[in-house]
Structures are given as C-alpha cells and as structure tokens.
Structure 1
Amino acid sequence: MSRKFSFTVQYSVPVEDLHRALTNDEMWQSRFEGAQTATLELTHPDGPGTIQIHMTEKAPEDQIPGIVQKVLKSELMLERTDTWGPLNAGVAKGSFNGRSGGITTEMAGTLELRPTAEGSEIDVAGTVDVKVPLVGGAIEPLVENLVKKVMNSERKSVETWFAAQNA
C-alpha cells in the first residue's frame, strides 16, 4: 500500500532566481561537490530553462534506521530523478521519481515552484511505496521524512550558492 505526502519548502529568493538556480548545472555540481558515494547526471532534454537531474547515492550505514537495516538485502542505494520545466507566468512545474536498491521502494510526485511575498516556494506532492511485507507501512513515513530532509538540504545549498554568487 502506498502513502501519500505533501509539504512546502520556503525559499528567501525570488522565483526567477530560484528557477535559474534549479536549472543551472553549476549549482547542482556545487551541491554534489565532494560527495564520496554520489553520482550526478544533468541534461536539458526540453531546452534552455529546463533540466533533468539524475542522482544516485549510497546511504551511509550509520544513518539507516534499525527497522530498515533489518530488511536490507544489500547496500541501500538511493536513486532520484527530478525534472523542471520552464518558468511561465512566475510558475514552473516539475516532477520527481525515485527508487532504492537493497529494499524495494518507489516514489513519484510533482513539484511546483511559485512566488511568495517573502521569495518563493516549492510545493511537493507525491506517493511512496515500500514493498516489504509486514514492515513496509512502517518504513514509508521514514522515506517521507527523508524526502523532506533532502528538499530542505537542497534549499540550504541553493541559498549558499546564491550567497557565493553575490559575494
């Protein structure tokens, strides 16, 4: 059974600047710089002002919850692909999908970037499905929390990148 989730990530930068950063190869390369167990592939299949970000990462063993460690068949590998479309009338739409190896997990959803009075925000809505008998439902909220942590970490990276660009 899958679990639905939604949340919003607030940014202090204007929507045009945030979209430019999210579709910028240098920003993503900066975010992944020094990541020992991660890979990053960037493409622009829909042209300028769009991007597809494919990321993989081996989860550090010390950060894997006990309930997950008990059902792992091999190393926990996380894979995610985000796609951002062009900015139209202050709004950009995107999507994400992900899966993991070591435990069968799938997630998918939508992203919407829009302006706010304080800057901009990304609305995230999706589903996660952990295909493990008996404990899958207990693991799904952990995956949802991981997605929130990653999105908030990306917010910090984008804002740090902006600060470096404007220094």
Structure 2
Amino acid sequence: MHLTVELTYAAETTAVAAALSDPEFLRWRSQDRGAAAATVVDLSGSHHAGFTLSLRRTVPTDVIPSQLRHVVGDQLEIRQAEAWEAPVDGRYVGTVVVEITGAPVRLTGTLLLAPTEDGGTRHVVEGEVHASVPLFAAAVEEAAASAVRRALEAEAQAARDWLARG
C-alpha cells in the first residue's frame, strides 16, 4: 500500500532540519505532547552535513481493526530509522524505514524537506507499507498506514510547537 504524508511548517527549511537533528528537541518531543512517547536510540551527524536517527515508540492499537488486535496486543512498538543527506539547494532528502514489532509490517520510503514559496517548509514522507499476513495483509497495511500517519502528524505538531518557542 502506498502512503504519502505531507506536512508543513511556518519556518525555514534549515530551522526545521536543525530541529529534527537536535537531541534536545528529540527528547522534548518524546514527552507527552500528543505524539507517541519515543525513545531516541541513536542520533549522529548534523543538519549541515547530514544526519541519521533511530527512534522507538509505543502506540495503542486503537487504530487497528478490532478483529486483528488479538494478533498484536494492546500496544505496538514502532521502530523508525531515518537517514538525511546534507542539503542541496536548500532541500534535504533522505530515506526512512519504519517497522512495527509484533506485527509483520514495514514501511520503506523517502523523505523530503523543501522550502515553500511563502518561506515555510514542506515535509513529505512517501513510501510503501507492506504486511506479510496471509488473508489480512490489506487490512493490516491500511491500519499500519493510519498509525504511521497519526504519529507523523503528532510529531509535526510537536515540531511546530518547538519552532514557535523561538
């Protein structure tokens, strides 16, 4: 299943990239701010030269159809790895892998941070969600895509709040 999530920020692209690669921001956003609590497993590099990060978060399974919850339990552990290249012409590109442990689900895709005409930033996550569950793959993929979308939107709001702090 294809997934595209487009997020926007009222901040310059460099500021958004700096926040996404800032260990203080990553710790701050992992606190209860509407985003799923996340643990930073690894962070290296900088927004100037490119960076990688690995996160682990736990989310409730309320987005999964009830008939499938018995397969994964009450919570899902999501592991996310991002690799961002150094900026070229004000744009950042990268790759992302998201795995849901306890469920054979994986998202692989691309990342983009690009300036908008109004001086803000467009953040695009695009990829393929694949579930290897016989008979239920489509339902699991749809539920996983919904969970990933909600997590990304909550994290984007946390980033907006962080950036607004100045």
* Structure 1 residues 50 and 24: alpha-carbon distance in aligned structure 2, compared to 1, 3 A threshold: farther
Question: Aligned partners of 2:26 and 2:161: how far apart in 1?
Answer: 12
Alignment of 1:82-101 (within 5 A): 82-101=82-101
Identical amino acids, percent of aligned pairs? 23
Structure 2 residue aligned with 1:108: 108
Unaligned stretches of 5+ in structure 2?
none
Instruction: Name the TM-score, length of structure 2 as normaliser.
Output: 0.84
SS of alignment partner, residue 121 of structure 1: strand
Deviation at 1:122, TM superposition (A): 1.2
Contact 1:5 1:125 in 2 (8 A): yes
Deviation at 1:28, TM superposition (A): 0.8
Unaligned stretches of 5+ in structure 1?
none
* Structure 1 residues 6 and 98: alpha-carbon distance in aligned structure 2, compared to 1, 3 A threshold: same
Contact 1:59 1:78 in 2 (8 A): yes
What is the one-letter code of the residue matched to 2:54?
Answer: H
Alignment of 1:1-150 (within 5 A): 3-33=1-31, 38-44=38-44, 49-62=49-62, 64-72=64-72, 76-118=76-118, 119-150=120-151
Say how many residue pairs are matched.
163
The CA RMSD measured in Å over matched residues stands at 2.5
Instruction: Name the TM-score, length of structure 1 as normaliser.
Output: 0.84
Contact 1:109 1:125 in 2 (8 A): yes
CA deviations 1:50-94 (Å, max 9, x no partner) are: 322211123335555413303227963211112222222110011
CA deviations 1:19-67 (Å, max 9, x no partner) are: 1111211111111135996421232258854322211123335555413
The yes-or-no answer on 1:157 pairing with 2:158 is yes
SS of alignment partner, residue 17 of structure 2: helix
What is the one-letter code of the residue matched to 2:83?
Answer: T
What is the one-letter code of the residue matched to 2:96?
Answer: F
